[in-house]
Amino acid sequence: MQTAQSDDWRPGFAKRAENFSEVCSLAERWRWSPGETIARVAGAVLKGTPSLSIPQRMTLLLYVEHLNQDRLEQDIACVWPSTGLVADYLGCSESQARANRKALEAAGFLVRDYTRANRPAGVEAYDLRPLMARLEELEAVDGAIREGVAARRAAYSETVAFPTKYSARAPESRRLEQSHENYKSSVRKKDAAPPRSHTQERASPRPESGKAGESSTQRQRTGQDRAIGSPEGASGLGSAKSDASVYAEMVRQELRTAIQVCPRLAPLVRDAVLANPASATPEDAARVAAAAAEFMPQPERNNDQTAIWGWRKHGIRIVTMLAIALEDPEVRSACGYFGKLATQERGAADLRLNLARILRNKGDLPPPETAAPPAEPDLPPLMFAPGVEEAPWPEINAALRRLIRDGAHGSWFNRVGFHGITDGVISLSTPTGIAADRIKRDYVEAIKQAADSVGVFVERVMISVRKR
């Protein structure tokens, strides 16, 4: 390799990377050793260069493919594929191929051969000896990647038991959303797959066969009754210090209202479950799954499996979610909304507000009784807009309606009072300060323009808040 360091070197003909001298020194020290084959070099480039982009890596692999094993054993690692050939192989332009080559040279994987005039040589143009010298380095990178993958697999495969308290919970399945699997039975009987991750604090012995432990997201047993779904998890209201009895009462209220909203779900909630949601059994889960498949007959959505998935996350509250999906008039797709509620993470929000809104829409909830305000015949009501029929306000208001949107006009000018125009000053009033501030901020110019369009001179707009 000519490094152009002789006396007749003329600078300025070729641009070199800043590490050119180091790469040349690395290339000069390399000597072939047994076992260094072209296949080994290609494998090291493919798996040991994560810092390179894919086009750069492919370019380097093309150069490696042009190596000759016999010349390699003679300590010669020069290749000379043309830029056009490399561009054709990569399916890119020649300028892109040259950019990839410059990036490889800057990264220290190859060096162009130079003449004494500091010009790139035209015969053996690309020297891969720097790559050969870094072969063990690339293989070490490959080994580190493999060790990282092995460590992650070891962490996944460690056995961790998460005991559950409630036997009504169905087995855990990490990849079941809208139930991507079909089963003949609505309740799966096989054991749950071990979790993918864990912490040392959560690790605990596997419960004995036929016994149910406590959920990993729940507190230790204290003898208190708890609702299905754990106060810390499925309620959406509590924290680590929340009272379980508060959560249980919320679940009971949800279930009572859900039965009122959707009476056909009443057989799914036994009196014992209604009194104590924690007493739900696997048979209850099976009935809920069967009801979901019956009331939402879309087999492709696997609603029974969605119900089981929701039961694992939220327990008996899945009945409330089913009632909302079936009866809410604002829901376009009952199956889609049920899946959204059932597959959300633990911490579902309080559903009593949803149920109350459905009952109000059905008319089952009477409006709250309010005492009639005392009659004040001598005072105009708050909604009264004085002077709206006095000229020229009707004409101005009609022109104003054409200038702004109907929604904005109805919101801010529907109760505006008119108190006359004096010396170019129009006096208006509003029942609230919010309306007055909004008109002052956004609609003063529109009022002036509307007045001008009907031939009324308005220079200033004065807005006041009228009192009763």
Structure tokens at 286: 């099976």
The domains found in the chain, sorted by start residue, are 20-140 (1.10.10), 225-362 (no CATH), 393-465 (3.30.300.180)
Would you list the DSSP string of 324-341?
A: HHHH-TT-S-HHHHHHHH
- Can you tell me the mean pLDDT for 315-335? 85
Residue 351's pLDDT band (cuts 50, 70, 90): confident
- CA nearest 362: which of 394, 399, 328? 328
What are residue 44's phi and psi, to 5 degrees?
Answer: -65, -40
- CA nearest 426: which of 402, 446, 412? 446
- Can you tell me the mean pLDDT for 221-237? 41
- Long-range contacts of the stretch 138-143 (C-beta < 8 A, 24+): 138/44, 138/45, 138/47, 138/48, 138/49, 139/44, 139/48, 140/48, 141/47, 141/48, 141/49, 141/50, 142/43, 142/44, 142/47, 142/48
Q: What is the pLDDT of residues 409-460, one digit of tens each?
A: 878 888 888 888 888 899 999 888 888 888 888 899 999 999 888 888 888 9
| Coil, strand or helix at 112 | strand
CA distances in angstroms from 52 to 48, 101, 388, listed in the order given: 10, 12, 75
- Can you tell me the mean pLDDT for 286-294? 86
Q: What is the pLDDT of residues 238-253, one digit of tens each?
A: 333 445 678 788 888 8
Which strands make up the sheet holding 417-422, listed edge to edge? 417-422, 425-430, 460-465
Model-level pTM?
0.35
> What residue type is assigned to position 164 of the chain?
T
From the number of C-beta atoms within 10 Å of its C-beta (0-12, 13-18, 19+), residue 59 rates as buried
Above 90 in pLDDT, residue 332?
no
CA distances in angstroms from 233 to 33, 138, 236, 240, listed in the order given: 62, 47, 7, 9
Spatial distance between the Cα atoms of 82 and 119, rounded to a whole number of angstroms = 16
Structure tokens at 323: 């009632």
CB-CB contact of 107 with 98 (8 Å) = no
CB-CB contact of 187 with 282 (8 Å) = yes
